A and B are shown apart, each in its own frame.
Chain A
Amino acid sequence: MRHRAIRPEPLFFELNPRRVRRQGYMLPTLDVPPVEPARVLPANLVRDPDPHFPDIGEMEVVQHFHRLSQLNYAVDEGLYPLGSCTMKYNPRINEQTARLPGFASIHPLQPVAQIQGALRLIWELEEALKTITGMPGVTLQPAAGAHGELTGILMIRKALSTRGDPREVVLVPDSAHGTNPATASFAGYRAVEIASADDGTIDLGALEKMMDDTVAAIMLTVPNTLGVFEHRIVEISKIVHDRGGFIYLDGANLNAFAGRALPGLMGADAMHINLHKTFSTPHGGGGPGAGPVTVSEALLPHLPVPRVVRTGDDYELLWEDPESIGPMRGFYGNFLILVRALTYIRSLGAEGLRTMSDVAVLYANLVRHRLSGAYHLKYDAPSMHEVVFDDSRQARHEVHNTDIAKRLLDYGFHPPTMSFPLIVHGALMIEPAESVAPEEVEAFCDAMLAIAKEAEENPELVKTAPHDTPVGRVDEVRAARDLKVRWMPEDDGA
């Protein structure tokens, strides 16, 4: 068990429950006559009842948040095996470059002559991503993966309407990221599900039948959410392209093959890249992220504006282009995330990026090798960067994936992704990512094996976990059905 604070921590509003008057700072004595807020402000601007901020001293505030930080789990603490999320280490040098004043202290409305370095960085990152994907164009604007998806699908839509062939349907595999059908709907298409074959990849027969002149695009994740490489991707692209459709690749899993395979050669027309997954910029905490989209020749004219254009050694911004889908975000996206991503790419170099992907795949296969005796694998196709087990063996003892995840907390690990992809019932989706030491991956496997043993010998121990955390098993059903999103004074029992 790792060292951490195990006292239950009250809510901020519950500090100082006896309401003893104390404060962190003394305000100067009031030297004007006091005024009742209700007399000078409109009624809707006056808080009633009193918001009830607790009276607490500075040190109490510091201790409160410090203790909360100790209860957190972070990439800097240990393996964070969230499948499909790629929780990798953000090297400290990324933070140094992102804090350089020439990057951190500039303003988007500054004249381009004063921000040549920043524009050059954008241009160089674009070039790097084009090389890594083998695709001729890219936009860095989208703020996250799903935003990248929308950007890509809107470019496809524009290309189809430009050629006078508007279509209605986007095909999405049943193993897709949930954002894929949402993107299709949001862009005005109907998302139609396409079934997986027995090995977890796309069923070519089903695709042959469904691919007609109403289908605008197919959205594919490569490798897919089972961690399985879509090995017939070139055939899939041919079928779709021959019938006038486009290939959208969800590049959330690019970290499995960067430096080893080129999406451009697979036939991709648009692909988003999660810089916060593959290229180590911080992931979690709600962002900011970045979801650049690389495009094929066919979509080049429709890239968002503004675009960075290089003439000799000078960089400019192109704001107008009638063929463009227009801006997808203010200015150039989350710029400081772009700084971090280019730092990572330049730190590793081509050889380093290849090793990154190789180790990500090696670690997933290490987990697969160590755990497949204890946990059931529904799809046994070769694994890339993640591996999806299910809880069917443990379910015989009434132990389910939730229980296994909770028990992992007692062993000091963050649980893997659960109950996704939906085609695997009771899924445990594990992605170690390449940044940790191999001993950390082994320690995680040891914990998983110990839990599998407990599930057989003492299932109650697993079903009532966690035992060593300040808060035990929470009632997730009640939390969802009886939702309280705001603390109210009457809740504190005072």
Chain B
Amino acid sequence: MSLPAELLYGRSHEWIRVEGDAVVIGITNYAQDQLGEVVYVELPEVGTGVATGEELGTLESVKAVSEFLAPVGGEVIGVNERLEDEPNLVNEDPYGAGWLVKISGSAEGEDFLDAEAYQQFLEQESG
């Protein structure tokens, strides 16, 4: 799967999409592939404040429970409620219907990679 060029990527395999004063957060195709089939997603409550790098929630696959971290700090203003019944969306459409959390905050000053740089990062990781 090619990496959407309009997204920014974190080194712990989250992606973000900037929407005005907010960012939408998900995990990358690489991350969902490493996790395996997701069977349960634990999301934060709307209104929760998080700092960059803090745990936002957990993804449970048949292999393991993994936490996902906030790539930017701010307040949680939306969560993907469809994941409650359809956690498989994280696997099937990681960059679209499988998004996780929306945070009011800015990616300014945070260290993100663009699609090309993230692709190189992945190649180093698996090499």
Q: Mark B88-126, 1 if CB is under 8 A from A, else 0.
A: 100000000000000000000000000000000000000
Q: How far is the CB of B54 from chain A (nearest CB, A)?
A: 9
Quick one: which of A420, A425, A476 contacts B62, CB cutoff 8 A? A476
Q: Are B64 and A422 in contact (CB under 8 A)?
A: yes
Check if B42 is an interface residue, CB within 8 A of chain A: no
Beta-carbon nearest neighbor of B66 in chain A:
A422
Nearest CB on A from B113, distance (A): 19
Are B34's CB and A477's CB within 8 A? no
Contacts of B88 in A (CB 8 A): 481
Cβ-defined contact, B39 with A477, below 8 A: yes
Chain B residues whose CB sits within 8 angstroms of the CB of A422 once the complex forms: 64, 66
Q: How far is the CB of B62 from chain A (nearest CB, A)?
A: 5
Q: Interface code A386-424, partner B: CB below 8 Å = 1, 0 otherwise? A: 000000000000000010000000000000001110100
- Tier of interface size on chain B: 10 to 19
**Do A480 and B40 touch across chains, with their CB atoms under 8 A apart?**
yes
Q: How far is the CB of A213 from chain B (nearest CB, A)?
A: 20
Q: From B62, which residue of chain A is reached at the shortest CB distance?
A: A476
| A483 closest partner in B (C-beta) | B39
Closest chain A CB from B10 CB (angstroms)? 15
Specify which chain A residues have a CB less than 8 angstroms from the CB of B34 in the assembled complex: 425
Chain A interface, DSSP helix/strand/loop, else mixed:
mixed
Q: B66 and A481: CB pair below 8 A?
A: no
Do A480 and B63 have beta carbons less than 8 Å apart? no
B75 in the interface (beta carbon within 8 A): no
From the candidates B62, B64, B65, B66, name the one contacting A477 in the complex (CB within 8 A).
B62
Give chain B residues whose Cβ lies under 8 Å from the Cβ of A480: 39-40, 60, 62
CA distance A418 to B63 in the complex (A): 8
Task: Please give the distance in Å from A286's CB to the nearest CB on chain B.
Answer: 20
Complex contacts, B40 vs chain A, CB 8 Å: 480-481
| Assembled-state Cα–Cα distance A120/B63 (Å) | 45
Size range of the interface on A? 10 to 19
**In the complex, per-residue mask of B35-70: 1 if CB is within 8 Å of any chain A CB, else 0:** 001011000000000000000000010111110000
Interface residues in A440-494 by Cβ distance below 8 A to B read 476-477, 480-481
The answer to whether B87 and A481 have CB atoms under 8 Å apart is yes
Rounded to whole angstroms, the CA-CA distance of A422 and B87 in the bound complex is: 21
A contact residues around B87 at 8 Å (CB): 481
Which chain A residues lie closer than 8 Å to B66 at the CB level? 422
Residues 70-94 (chain B) with a chain A CB within 8 angstroms: 87-88
- Closest residue to B69 on the A side, CB-wise? A193
| A397: min CB distance to chain B, Å | 17
* Cα separation A329 to B39 with both chains bound (whole Å): 35
A418 CB contacts on chain B under 8 angstroms:
63
Contacts of A476 in B (CB 8 A): 62
Residues of B within 8 A of A425 (CB): 34
B residues in contact with A178, CB < 8 Å: 65
Q: How far is the CB of B72 from chain A (nearest CB, A)?
A: 19
In the complex, what distance in Å separates the CA atom of A422 from the CA atom of B65? 9
Once the chains bind, are B63 and A419 in contact (CB under 8 Å)? yes
CB distance from A359 to the nearest CB of B (A): 31
A419 touches B37 (CB 8 A): no
Given A425-B34, A481-B87, also A420-B64 (CB < 8 A): yes
Closest residue of chain B to A421, judged by CB? B64
Q: When chains A and B are docked, how far (Å) is the Cα of A422 from the Cα of B12? A: 14
Contact A481–B63 (Cβ < 8 Å)? no
Chain B residues closer than 8 Å to A420, beta-carbon distance: 64
Cα of A420 to Cα of B64 in the assembled complex, Å = 8
Interface centre among B39, B40, B65, B88, by most A CB within 10 Å? B39
Cβ of B37 and Cβ of A477 under 8 Å apart? yes
Given the complex of chains A and B, what is the CA–CA distance between A422 and B59 in angstroms?
13
* Residues from chain A with Cβ under 8 Å of B37 in the complex: 477
The CA-CA distance from A8 to B88 in the complex, in Å, is: 31
Report the minimal beta-carbon distance from B33 to chain A, rounded to whole angstroms: 10
Give the shortest distance, in Å, between A178 (CB) and chain B (any CB): 8
**Distance to closest chain B CB from A390 (angstroms):** 12
- B34, B37, B65 interface centre (most CB from chain A within 10 Å): B37
Smallest CB-CB A-B distances: 6 pairs: A480-B39, A419-B63, A477-B37, A476-B62, A481-B39, A419-B64
Interface of B with A (CB < 8 Å)? Answer: 34, 37, 39-40, 60, 62-66, 87-88
List A residues at the B interface (Cβ < 8 Å).
Answer: 178, 402, 418-420, 422, 425, 476-477, 480-481
21 residue pairs from A and B, CB less than 8 Å apart? A178-B65, A402-B63, A418-B63, A419-B63, A419-B64, A420-B64, A422-B64, A422-B66, A425-B34, A476-B62, A477-B37, A477-B39, A477-B62, A480-B39, A480-B40, A480-B60, A480-B62, A481-B39, A481-B40, A481-B87, A481-B88
Given contacts A402-B63, A480-B40, 17 further A-B contacts (CB under 8 A): A178-B65, A418-B63, A419-B64, A420-B64, A422-B64, A422-B66, A425-B34, A476-B62, A477-B37, A477-B39, A480-B39, A480-B60, A480-B62, A481-B39, A481-B40, A481-B87, A481-B88
